[in-house]
Structure 1
Amino acid sequence: MPDLAVICNPNKLREQYCFGAPTVVMEILFPSTVKADRLVKLNRYQQAGVPEYWIVLPQEQNATVFVLENGLYRTVAVYAKEDTAAKVFTLTGCELDLTRVFE
């Protein structure tokens, strides 16, 4: 289960889960979850066809964004806590103010 998932297609929603790939998945990394989130979950989300995957590191106050291209994730951005307009690539016009996220 992801820490945060954005599901834009309401037909994918079931009572307690998403049937199919969410549009965006975000994982908050902690020392105990680094391996799982950077390797295992990244590969699972990639295979499942999740279009955008964020790895957020609260200790380092940054976020790495991966976008699925031709079935493989490509790093498209690395944001720092000072970024007030961190673009969510698969959601047109959606930006996050990371200064508020890392408060």
Structure 2
Amino acid sequence: MAKKVKEYRIHDQPVEDISVLEPEATYSYADYLKWSFEERVELIKGKLFKMSPAPGRGHQAINGNIHGVMWNFLRKKSCKLFAAPFDVRFPQKIDSTNRETFTVVQPDICVICDPEKLDDAGCKGAPDLIVEILSPSTSKKDLNDKFYLYEEFKVKEYWVVYPGDKVLEIFYLEQGKYSRSKKYLPGDLVISEVLSGLSLNVNDIFEGT
């Protein structure tokens, strides 16, 4: 028997109040574009995920430290660097319409080397590298839902930052799976295969936190 999809009311006008959305419904990117409420959200497989409120000082410091090093490294290179809020859509097919696209996320940091994936709305397709900085409210999503999402769509490197432990873990895609990972501790030099030649010490990631 085919799985019954929960019906929901399609809003033709902009939605200004998140409370009118149905948590169990399946939404598309076309729906997402109509939402004008203040809360930041992501869609994963059509399911609504609220993002954490404004990141704290430590999160901001880590984000700025990584972004600064990557920005300097990528200057005059073809790969482009972006930070949230920046929409990354994961369509099942390259020609999927907005109504046929059910996943849009806002990674803390992402690197995109294929200019064909960039458009005015953000990125359509998998970035080459994604960084997520864990927080108590997002750790489950980042370590489970997003882990398998990024693996499915073949993000080459997935960086997960653990602020409390001052640890960076990188998952490297091999034969379509994150079958290899490495944890980098304070004092370690980070090895990126996407950003070959990048010089980054873990101590620099957590400076100012």
TM-score by length of 1: 0.90
Task: Tell me the distance in 2 between the aligned counterparts of 1:92 and 1:9.
Answer: 16
What's the counterpart of residue 6 of structure 1? 111
| Aligned counterpart for 2:168 among listed residues 63, 71, 81 | 63
SS in 1 for 2:119: coil
What's the counterpart of residue 49 of structure 1? 154
| Aligned counterpart for 1:92 among listed residues 157, 171, 196 | 196
SS in 2 for 1:68: strand
The residue identity in structure 2 corresponding to 1:5 is C
* Alpha-carbon distance, 1:60 to partner: 0.7
The residue identity in structure 2 corresponding to 1:47 is E
SS in 1 for 2:178: strand
Aligned residues: 102
Give % identity.
39
**Which range is displaced more, 2-11 or 74-83?**
74-83
What's the counterpart of residue 17 of structure 1? 122
Structure showing greater Rg: 2
Contact in 1 for aligned 2:112/2:127 (Cα 8 Å) = yes
* Alpha-carbon distance, 1:33 to partner: 1.0
Q: Which runs of 4+ in 1 moved over 4 A?
A: none
Given the superposition, is the C-alpha separation of residues 97 and 16 from structure 1 closer, same or farther in structure 2, using an over 3 Å criterion? farther
Task: Tell me the distance in 1 between the aligned counterparts of 2:152 and 2:180.
Answer: 16
Superposition RMSD in Å: 1.3
* Bigger proportion of residues as strand: 1
1:49-96 deviations in whole A, cap 9, x for unaligned? 10110110111100111011111112331101222x201122221232
What's the counterpart of residue 102 of structure 1? 206
1:2-37 deviations in whole A, cap 9, x for unaligned? 111011122211123112110100100011111100
* Structure 2: stretches of 5+ with no match in the other structure: 1-105
**Which range is displaced more, 92-101 or 4-13?**
92-101
Task: Tell me the distance in 1 between the aligned counterparts of 2:122 and 2:136.
Answer: 27
Contact in 1 for aligned 2:173/2:180 (Cα 8 Å) = no
Task: Tell me the distance in 2 between the aligned counterparts of 1:99 and 1:68.
Answer: 25
Task: Tell me the distance in 2 between the aligned counterparts of 1:96 and 1:5.
Answer: 16
